Structures are given as C-alpha cells and as structure tokens.
Amino acid sequence: MSQSPRVEPHDVEAPPVPTTGERRGVGAAHAKAILFGEHAVVFGAPAIAIPVDSLTAEATIELAEPAGLRIASSLYTGPIDGAPTRLAPVVTAIRTSLERAGLAELAQSDSADDRAADGDTTDGEALGAGALVSITSSIPHERGLGSSAAVAAAIARAAFDLAGTPLDSETLFDLIQTAERVAHGKPSGIDARTVAATGAIRFNRGSVAPIRIGAPLILAFADTGHPGSTAKAVGSVQALREREPESTDARLSRLAEIAEHSIEDLASGDRTAVGAAMSEAHAILHGIGVSSERLDAIVAAACDAGATGAKLTGGGLGGCVIAVAGSEAHAEQIGTAMRGAGAERTWTVEVPAA
C-alpha cells in the first residue's frame, strides 16, 4: 500500500537504557482508517476499513539492567508500575503478551532485591531478570487511527519474537482486544483486526473478509488537531438511541446499508460513487451528534476543493477526516484546502487495486 508523505513521528527515541545485548524481540503494526460503518458497527452492523501502512508503531523488548520491567517512550520512561494512567492499555499489553508468550517471569515488575528478600529467584534471574520495552509510534494519538491497537499489536509481536514462539492471528487479536478493553471499554474489534490486516476488509461481528479494490483509491487525510473520544461518542449515540430509538436506529441502519453498498463501488473502482457515499455517511454521523464544527468545516473545504466526497473517520468528536481525490496531485490540493479550514496537518494515502 503506497502512502505519502509520512507523518512526522509522534514518539521520539527514548533515552538510552543499559541492556545486556543477549536477547531482544521486535514487533510492528500499522494504523487503520474506517471508510464506512463507524458507530453502526458497535450495534453489529458491517464496516469497511483499510490499513494505513505509512503510520506505524514499533516495539522492542530486550533484557536490561537493572532487574525489573521498564517502559521507554516519549510519553513515559521508567518502571512499569510508575506508568501514568493513560498508559494502562500499554501496561496491560506488555504484561499479558509476555505471559502468553511464556515469559511470565519478565512480566514481574519487582526488583531483584525485592525478590531476593522474598526468597523468590525464578528463571527470570537467568534471563537477566530485567526487561526494557521501547515503544515508538508515528500514529497520532486519539485520532481514530487505531493508535492503541497498533501499539498493542507491536508489543505482542515483540514479546513472541523474544520468546521465539509463533504468534497466530487469533492469539494476536485476543491480546490486542485485552488492551483495547482497557482503552475503550467494549471495543467492537475492528481496530484489532485492521491493524493486523494486509488489505481492505469488511468487518462484521468480529469476523473479517477481504474487500476487492478495483482501482487505486486516493485519499486525502486531515488531522483536526483535536483528540477524538470513541468511548464518549459511543456513549452519546447510545443515549440518543434510548431517547429517540426509531430515528436513531433508522440512521444506523442507513450507515450499515452505505457500508454494504460501498463494497460494489470499491470493487468497480467508482470513485464518484465512493465519494458520494462518504458525504452521505458524514451527514448521518453529523445528525447523530458525533461530528464537530472543525470536522464539518474540513469536510466542506475538501468538497469545495473538488473531492468527490469526504467524511470523518473513527469515533468522531475530533480526530481525522478522509476525502476522495482524483490523483495524488489533487489530494495535495485538497490537503491545502483542509489545512486552510483548520486541519493541523494532512497527508495522502493510496489504497492500491487488489
């Protein structure tokens, strides 16, 4: 999947920490974007999503001195027990991945001195007792692009790589979902599936199927600069559904229909139809209260610049916008217009024919 230009990394190299140089595991995963079906997917409807390969998360787990389990990232560097609350999904991903990979001794965060005082000297002592988990990411945080899921996937892959143990797709999905439940409460699973996918997918009730892309789909992405909140947006839609069940269900059903109908349009390479579907979907998402003035302004600017359609992607209330362009040059023009409407940054994503 060809995508450019690359967004500047959100994370930076962590401060150096002494390592033993004996064993290390590495893992990576990419971002995702939902083309159609957000919010309806929460209620069991299908959604269409794509991997965004140019935005990635990387994790390295290596034996380190001194003993104990530590994290190194731009958001926090230090003992895992001292990690801030916002990193709870990361902590969960680290502990559960190490345990499932057969490295439970490394999942322990107490120091060697504490273990010695307790008379507990496990096989972890032979491994060096300490482990450093280094995380870098170019995926914008809290923008509906699957940042937390991608980081969890990268950590899981690094843990299994360190253990030299094969990691099957269902175990990977389960590990990501375990972390995602800490991050989002009751995730649908679409993020966990898409950050590990190699192409466009149809997601429905946890199952996935590949989607045919008949002609390259060129998308202009825009970051509003404002964090989205999937949990808040989902809660808002649920509250609206309780107050206005009939009208809300009708809107969610239409979102589901748009997602299903888009499969044929994507397969035929009909950018005009795909764009029109996006604009209709955005209008519905606005109607159920998950858009914002900034999102609406950026969508309008994209369409004024010639996009065949545009919409928010992800939970909403912030996050990102995607717009259908006719070429990479056109996507750059749309990006300029979206920045003029308040987008913090823009980039181009090409979903190749497949």
Q: What residues does each domain of the chain span?
A: 3-207, 212-351
Rounded distance between C-alpha atoms, residue 315 and residue 347, angstroms: 20
Low-confidence ranges of the chain (pLDDT < 50): 1-20, 111-127
Cα separation, 320 vs 143, in Å, equals: 6
Structure tokens given for 49: 């999503």
Strands 3-4 and 345-351: antiparallel
User: What pLDDT is stored for residue 8 in this prediction?
Assistant: 37
Structure tokens at 188: 């649908």
Q: Say how far residue 247 (Cα) sits from the centre of its chain.
A: 30
Cβ atoms of 163 and 105 closer than 8 Å:
no
Closest-CA residue to 147 (of 29, 63, 253, 289): 29
**Predicted local confidence at residue 194, as pLDDT:** 96
DSSP string, 43-106: GT--EEEEEEEEEEEEEEEEEESSSEEEEESSS-EEEGGG--GGGHHHHHHHHHHHHHTT-GGG
Which two structure tokens, joined as six digits, stand for 302? 């994209």
| Residues 27/133, Cβ–Cβ less than 8 Å | no
Q: Tell me, what's the pLDDT at 108? A: 72
d(CA 132, CA 66): 10
Quote the pLDDT of residue 293.
95
Protein fold of 212-351? Alpha-Beta Plaits (3.30.70)
d(CA 11, CA 141): 10
State how far the Cα of 8 lies from the Cα of 334, in Å rounded to an integer: 20
> What's the confidence (pLDDT) of residue 110?
53
φ, ψ of residue 270 in degrees (nearest 5): -85, 90
Task: Specify the pLDDT at position 231.
Answer: 79
Q: What pLDDT is recorded for position 22?
A: 62
Residues 3-207, CATH architecture: 2-Layer Sandwich (3.30)
SS3 assignment, position 346? strand
